[in-house]
Amino acid sequence: MRIRFAAIALLAGLLFFLSIFLGSVYVSPAEVWQSLTGGEAPLLSQKIVTAVRLPRALTAALGGGGLAVAGLLMQTLFRNPLAGPSVLGLSSGASLAVAVTAMGGTGLVFGYYTQTIAAVIGSTAVLLIILAVARRFADVTVVLIVGLMLSFFTSAVVGLLQSVADESSLKAFVYWGFGSFAGVGTAQMPVFAGPVIAGILLSALLIKPLNALLPGEMHAKSMGVNTGRLRLAVMGITGMVTGVVTAFCGPVAFIGLAAPHFARMTFGSVNHGIILPASLGIGAVLGLLCDLIARRPFADTGIPLNTVCAFMGAPVVIYLIFAGRRKKWLI
């Protein structure tokens, strides 16, 4: 198991450095290294490395990792392998909120962080609805369908806003929808990284109760877990992490859904003590990898992040579901 964790960490480290060494302009590896270690690189190279590439790689790693943890928490809470930020409508809720601030002409009510706050509210609101449904109906299919319908509903409202929006705000929103890890600069990093890291750390406190929840709510209760409070904690963490990542990076698809499955497959375990850190690591790897492909280093233009995520994520999830059914990796 240690070897597998080491491999994930190594892969994440490798991809992290790769994304710092590769970019749309050429900076020699020696200069990149000097910029990172505080050596005497030309000012221009230093800026490119420390102010552009480093925050972007950090965002990809943290965003991917954060979404993966959020996905895992949701899959356990809903006891549903298909749960994930982008499937249950959380991203759509955040999208709707961002669309309202971007195209609805509400202006920047909370100043610079309007979009972030709106996205958090949007994703948490959808999560609340989903959770209310989940409490009433034990059947996971109902929950999934409601989530799906909520996605359709929010898309319809977004479509309505788009049809009346002026060209420029429409364009801005469409670009946001493509997803990108480039939106966080050095100045915004604390606002982005703070809640995401806090969410990840807080989720580590939930390992035991989450494990107790695996066989079912009754079992968790008999183990002395306050399921109501657990639900609230999971909701708060996933809403915050998904909201913040979505606000800064757009509705990033599939990473949150796929990473926990990868983790369970790699470690052949459902113990959160193992798959929580594993999901975090694999999420970071996926975030960095998708970003690297989307950027197409040295090419003139990149491709949307979500295109890459969907191309890689959808087939992987299909495979995992099939393979997982056979080998009982699934929860």
Partner 1 sequence: MPMLSYLTLYVDRLLSMRFVSAFLFFGLVLIFASCGEPGADPAFRAEGKAEAMPVHHSEGLRIEKTRDGFLVEVRNPRDTAEIYGTYRLSRTKKSSAGGDETVIRIPVQRAALNSTTFVPFFEKIDAHGVITGVSYASRVTNERVKAQIDAGETLEIAGGDGIDTERLLMSAPDVLMAYMYNASDFSKIEDLGIPVIMNMEYAESTPLGRAEWVKLAGCLIDRYDDAEELFEVISRTYGNLHDLAREADYYPVVFSGSKYESKWFTPGNRSFVAQYIRDAGARYAFQHVDGQSNVELDFESVLSTLVKADFWGLIVSDNNEFKLSSLIRMEPQYALFNSFKKGQVFVCNTAKSDYFGDAVLEPHIVLSDLIGILHPDLLPGHDFTYFRPVVVDVTS
Residues forming contacts to partner 1 in the complex (CB under 8 A) are: 23-25, 44, 47-48, 51-53, 102, 108, 112, 166-169, 171-172, 175, 178, 180, 182, 185-188, 300-302, 304
Q: Nearer Cβ to partner 1, position 169 or 271?
A: 169
Comparing CA positions, the residue from 177, 93, 101, 99 lying closest to residue 130 is 93
Q: Least CB distance from residue 7 to partner 1, whole Å? A: 31
Q: Least CB distance from residue 302 to partner 1, whole Å? A: 5
Structure tokens at 301: 């233009």
Q: Least CB distance from residue 170 to partner 1, whole Å? A: 9
In the chain, the amino acid numbered 178 is F
Q: Nearer Cβ to partner 1, position 40 or 300?
A: 300
The set of residues, in sequence order, having a beta carbon less than 8 Å from that of 164 and lying 6+ positions away, is 103
For residue 109, the number of C-alpha atoms closer than 13 Å in the C-beta half-sphere is 12
Q: Least CB distance from residue 321 to partner 1, whole Å? A: 32
Residues 277, 12 contacting (CB under 8 angstroms): no
Q: Least CB distance from residue 24 to partner 1, whole Å? A: 5
Structure tokens at 257: 């859904």
Report residue 142: phi and psi, to 5°. -60, -45
Structure tokens at 83: 């749960």
Q: Least CB distance from residue 178 to partner 1, whole Å? A: 7
**Radius of gyration, alpha carbons of the chain:** 20
Q: Nearer Cβ to partner 1, position 270 or 294?
A: 294
**Is the four-CA dihedral 20, 85, 116, 155 of positive or negative sign?**
positive
Residue 104 per-residue DSSP state: S
